[in-house]
């Protein structure tokens, strides 16, 4: 029993250590959200509850902005659904590996499945053993704790300091996703997907398209798929 507990502790610590750079990288993002929520009129409890329950940086920021502008509830819900839809794809990608696990593991890891945790799930051995399951739990759980701590710091800063939204902390969002995407560029088709998505998002944003990011992502995925098909035929 003691050996099992020690192995679990080692696995949890390894997961937390593996994701630590990403946990630190989202510090400006969490501070930005906490301060933004306070600046938009939410109480400290409501702001912290966002991170405790929703646990998604991009959707939290967009939801706070929309609610502060008294946007209709259906628009808020639809926007949140669209922004979070990528998590459905994450779930599908990991479904085969987790389908044999208990409901507790599937629900728990499903809640903790952020972009950052998914980026650590690329190896074929991920989630395949009890050790790796606890490793994923340590990574996702420590990231969840860090995100809520950063939110609390932002709430404090938003209460006592000037408007932090003017400091450019939102660049942390782009920097984090760049750090997640670049290591995954391992083929020509993925490179084409990334480059066309980036170019499309810039062009569509310049022309003021409301769904610029989503449209750009679809264009990039289709382009990458075609490039992959051409490579396989040749």
**pLDDT tens column, 163-173:** 655 665 556 66
As a dihedral over the C-alpha atoms of residue 96, residue 99, residue 104, residue 110, rounded to 10 degrees, the angle is 30
- pLDDT value of position 233: 75
- Per-residue tens of pLDDT for the chain, all 234 residues: 577 788 889 889 998 998 998 888 888 888 888 888 888 889 999 999 999 999 888 888 888 888 888 878 887 888 788 778 778 888 888 888 888 888 888 889 889 988 888 877 766 677 778 888 899 899 999 999 999 999 999 898 877 766 655 665 556 666 666 766 776 677 788 788 888 888 888 888 787 766 676 788 788 888 888 888 887 776
Q: What is the pLDDT of residue 176?
A: 62
Distance set, CA 50 to CA 63, 199, 225 (Å): 10, 32, 36
Give the span between the Cα atoms of 200 and 114, in whole angstroms.
25
- Say if CB 59 and CB 69 are below 8 A apart: no
Contact 154, 32 (CB under 8 A): yes
- Name the pTM for this structure: 0.75
> How confident is the model at residue 130, as a pLDDT?
83
> How large is the C-alpha radius of gyration of the chain?
19
Per the structure block, which two tokens stand in for 136?
A: 């994923």
Q: Contact, 8 vs 136, CB < 8 A?
A: no
pLDDT in tens, 50-74: 999 998 888 888 888 888 888 788 8
Return left, alpha or beta for 55; rule: phi > 0 is left, psi -120 to 50 is alpha, else beta.
left
What confidence score (pLDDT) does residue 152 get?
94
């Amino acid at each position: 029993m003691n050996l099992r507990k020690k192995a679990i502790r080692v696995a949890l610590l390894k997961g937390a250590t593996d994701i630590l750079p990403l946990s630190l990288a989202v510090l400006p993002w969490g501070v930005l959200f906490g301060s933004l929520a306070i600046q938009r009129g939410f109480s400290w409890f409501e702001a912290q509850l966002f991170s405790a329950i929703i646990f998604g940086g991009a959707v939290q920021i967009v939801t706070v902005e929309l609610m502060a502008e008294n946007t209709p509830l259906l628009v808020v819900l639809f926007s949140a659904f669209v922004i979070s839809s990528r998590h459905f794809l994450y779930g599908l990608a990991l479904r085969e590996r987790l389908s044999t696990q208990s409901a507790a593991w599937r629900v728990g890891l499903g809640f903790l499945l952020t972009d950052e945790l998914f980026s650590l799930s690329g190896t074929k051995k991920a989630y395949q053993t009890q050790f790796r399951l606890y490793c994923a739990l340590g990574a996702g759980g420590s990231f969840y704790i860090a995100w809520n701590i950063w939110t609390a710091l932002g709430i404090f800063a938003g209460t006592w300091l000037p408007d932090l939204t003017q400091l450019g902390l939102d660049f942390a969002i782009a920097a984090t996703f760049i750090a997640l995407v670049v290591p995954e560029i391992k083929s020509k088709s993925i490179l084409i997907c990334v480059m066309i998505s980036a170019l499309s998002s810039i062009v569509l944003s310049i022309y003021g398209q409301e769904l610029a990011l989503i449209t750009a992502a679809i264009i990039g995925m289709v382009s990458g798929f075609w490039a992959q098909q051409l490579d396989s035929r040749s």
